[in-house]
């Protein structure tokens, strides 16, 4: 078995679609009979944007989405130039990373960990 999809609960589906398609290369797939928007990645698991229930609190940190990039400072600069707030580039002990939030307050990280030597 492989990890194929992650469900992300949101009250801001259109902002989430714009965020992940604009900044992380996902493609949105919609089925009029389904309330879930599927975001397909060029590689790796899909993100399923599921409408959040009234009792669900947005932005609780239980899962963090990590996107691999060989050049964290350049990726951070591109995100910030597009209006995304990104924390400072930090040293993870041999690799760089930076943290940010998506429009629903979920934790996201850009990281060079996969490229460390």
Domains defined along the chain, listed by start = 5-115 (3.10.180.10)
For residue 60, the model assigns a pLDDT of 67
pLDDT digits (tens, 9 = 90+) for 45-93: 999 998 888 877 776 656 788 899 999 999 999 999 999 999 999 999 8
Specify burial of residue 4 (Cβ count, 10 A radius: 0-12, 13-18, 19+).
Answer: exposed
Q: Which residue has the tokens 């992940």?
A: 20
Section 100-112 average pLDDT: 92
Q: pTM of the full predicted structure?
A: 0.81
- Token pair listed for 70: 């060989």
Collapsed DSSP state (helix, strand, coil) of residue 87:
coil
Neighbouring residues of 100: CB distance < 8 A, sequence distance ≥ 6: 79, 84, 85, 86, 87, 108, 109, 110
Q: Which residues pair with 10 in a beta bridge?
A: 51
For residue 61, the model assigns a pLDDT of 59
Section 22-30 average pLDDT: 96
For residue 93, the model assigns a pLDDT of 87
For residue 71, the model assigns a pLDDT of 96
The length of the chain in residues reads 117
Question: How many whole angstroms separate alpha carbon 49 and alpha carbon 70?
Answer: 27
For residue 2, the model assigns a pLDDT of 72
């Amino acid at each position: 078995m492989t990890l194929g999809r992650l469900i992300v609960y949101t009250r801001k589906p259109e902002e989430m679609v714009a965020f992940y398609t604009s900044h992380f290369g996902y493609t949105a797939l919609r089925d009029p009979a389904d309330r879930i928007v599927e975001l397909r990645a060029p590689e790796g698991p899909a993100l399923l944007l599921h409408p959040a229930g009234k009792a669900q609190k947005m932005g609780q940190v239980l899962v963090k989405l990590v996107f691999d990039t060989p050049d964290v400072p350049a990726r951070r600069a591109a995100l910030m130039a597009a209006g995304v707030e990104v924390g400072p580039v930090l040293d993870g002990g041999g690799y760089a990373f930076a943290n940010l939030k998506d429009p629903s307050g979920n934790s996201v990280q850009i990281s060079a960990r996969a490229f460390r030597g």
